[in-house]
Structure 1
């Protein structure tokens, strides 16, 4: 299916996301900070990124800005998965280029549905 990069410093949550996406047939790599997310994405461009907002080294918004400024990564769909629920955070992420925004706690099946939708939109030839 797809190669998905999950960036979240919460090991338990990252494992849950990885498990759910892998059981749907996706290849998943997890990293625990924003700098590692950028390095991993530049080493192998993902089909989609699941990105936490609050991470060490580089925050999710910083990673999102770096993705959108990098021609290699600018078109990669980014789904922000975060505990930040304020209107300002949501609007800022979407205006900054996030394709989707889900707040924690989340429903794993909803996450999978949104991931699948983004993958179809970003690569309709594979649908």
Structure 2
């Protein structure tokens, strides 16, 4: 299993545009904050119609699911995926595949149910 440092190293190697922000001392201590940096990068690509960039990031992140620690996987789902806004480009949501699509679907169900469940139930549902 890849830990936080191995995942981040692979991420910044693949997407050098996020390297400076993700490795900034204000974010580097927290995988959740680092996933927020990745979210901002992808959200900018969504908002600016950069479908290839969005697809590349989604494919990379999807390829990491199942190879990273639970801490990293939770941060991917909650800190990254759970905060993306597809309202300006709803078609981009279809770029999500596999575990990312399942994770987003589970989060949307969780929010639609008025948070009746618990965070643990949500995390269990994306395993």
Q: Which has the higher contact order (CA 8 A, sep 6+)?
A: 2
Name the one with the larger helix percent.
Answer: 2
Name the one with the larger strand percent.
Answer: 1
Question: TM-score, normalised to structure 2's length?
Answer: 0.35
Question: TM-score, normalised to structure 1's length?
Answer: 0.35
